[in-house]
Structure formats: structure tokens, C-alpha cells
Chains A and B, each alone.
Chain A
Amino acid sequence: MSNEIVKTTVTPQGSNVDPPVDPLVFTPPIDIFETPDGLVLLADLPGVTLESLELQVQDNKLTLFGRVHHDLPPNARLIHQEYALGHFLRSFILSEEVDHERVTAKLNHGVLEVFLPRLPKAEPRRIPVTTS
């Protein structure tokens, strides 16, 4: 692929930045790693802001939905495209070992970080055994 980013003499036909009627939705790439206290989930959401991000836990399902607004002026004309524009959606099933009530999240430089704490293990209960 050429690194020539602009073909100055060519005017592409029909290219514009009008928001598509049915915007594309992408599955963002994620990392999941384990820490002593639980799991950390990282998702790449470039262009998503705190206001445009929805993160919810319902029953045992964690869903993230990030809207991307480009703030491009109406006269902007797309002349070279290597990635498509769209929103981000992905959902996960949480196991019962995750403490759903204590899930926390932060957004930093286009990366969502969700902390999924492990439920504290119940202490084993000693059951006295007697002879009859």
C-alpha cells in the first residue's frame, strides 16, 4: 500500500462525510487479564467520550456501547480512507464468581478499563460430627 496520502489531482466521486443512515457497529478488540483481586478488561474505543459511552450490567450480562461522533464540518470531504467509521458494541457473560455490584470502570485515551472484582470466597464452615 502506498504512503502517498493524497492524490491531489483526483477528485473521488460521491465521497462525503454525511453520517450514514445506518451507522456501522464494530466489535472492539479487548484484552482480559487476571489480578489477585479479579479480572481487568480493556477495550479499544477510539473516539468514544464519557458522555457517549454506555456500560451496563443486567442480570449476568455486561454490555458496552460506545458512540463515536466525529465533529467534522459539513464541508469536509473524505479523500483517503483506511478505516471505517462507526460505533462500538460488545457484550460479555459474567460468571457468578464476579461481584456484579462492585464492577468499576474508567475511560482513558480511548481505552475502556473495566475492573471485575472476584467475589470473596465463603469461609469453610466446620460441621461438628457427633456419634449417636
Chain B
Amino acid sequence: MAVFRWGQAWDPIRDLEREVDRLLASVSLSFQGIRVGRQYPPVNVYEIEDELLLMAELPGTRPEDLEVLVADGVLTLKGKRSGAEGITDDHYRRQERPRGDWQRSLTLPALIHEDKLTAEFTNGVLRVRLPKAPATVPRQIHVADGNSG
């Protein structure tokens, strides 16, 4: 017995492995990337010697639709994912991939060299390199004796 049906006249693909899973998990049916209460896109951050590397998975985003901005210690990632052109919703048999405009701002630690930040986008993965600024030497502040003179 088919547990899951496309419900349309043409029924060419059945996703066997997920059928039962989906029924069992239908209450918490959520898509990778857009989970309730989660920010999009999810990011990972690595520390590699004197720089930080931020990685974000953004499959299907065109490089021209992706913006990486930095100002006042805040890194802002902005972009959009469009659906297939000329395809209306009633042509979809299954729609799990997130789409639409998104934006996320992340507070950078103070020790980042903002003007030396670089970003590259390959195979749907964004990598932003955040070089650490050298630690500043504490500056001694002379305290004048207010009682003298």
C-alpha cells in the first residue's frame, strides 16, 4: 500500500525512503535551514590561528543576489533565493527547499580587522575570513595630582 501519494494525476516519483518517516514526523515537519526559532542562514565559525572563518550554507543563492556588509563591528549577510522561473505553485509536487529574502546580522568580536575581511562563495557555501586585529598595548594614563599647584 502506498503510504504517501502525490495526489495528482501523474504519479511518477515516490520517495520511498521518506514515506514512513514523514508520517511519523509530520508534526515536526521542518526543512533543513528554516527551523522554527532558528535564524537563517545557520553559520559555523572556526578559529584558524590569527583569523576567524565564518561558514554559511546558502545553496541556490546566486552570487549576484548575495551581499556581505560590514560596519561598526556588525557583519550583515543578505540575500534571496528565488523559485524556478515561470513555474507556478500548482506545478510543484513537492516543495521543501526554503525560498525568499533573508537577512542576518552578526556582532563581530571587537578584535577583527574589518577592512581586511574577505568573502568567497563556492558550491553554495559562503566563507568569510575575519582576520584578527593585533592586540593593542595598554596605554598608561598619567594621573595628575589635583592637590598640587
Interface residues, chain A, with chain B CB atoms under 8 Å away: 1, 3-6, 8, 17, 26-35, 39-42, 44-49, 72-73, 75-83, 85, 90-95, 97-98, 109-111, 116, 118
Contact = CB atoms under 8 A, between A and B. Distances in A.
Given A110-B125, A116-B13, A1 B60 contact: no
Interface residues of B, number: 56
A3 B17 contact: no
Interface of B: 10-18, 31-33, 37-39, 42-49, 52-54, 57-63, 75, 83-84, 87, 91-98, 104-109, 111, 121, 123-125
Contacts of A78: 44-46
Contacts of B61: 109
A103 to B, nearest CB: 12
A32 B13 contact: yes
Main DSSP-derived SS at the A contact region = strand
B123 A46 contact: yes
A73 B39 CA distance: 27
Contacts of B121: 109
A83 B46 CA distance: 13
27 contacts: A1-B38, A5-B43, A5-B54, A5-B75, A8-B109, A29-B97, A30-B97, A40-B84, A44-B32, A44-B59, A72-B48, A73-B48, A75-B48, A77-B46, A78-B46, A80-B45, A81-B45, A82-B42, A82-B44, A92-B14, A93-B16, A95-B11, A97-B10, A109-B60, A109-B62, A109-B123, A110-B123
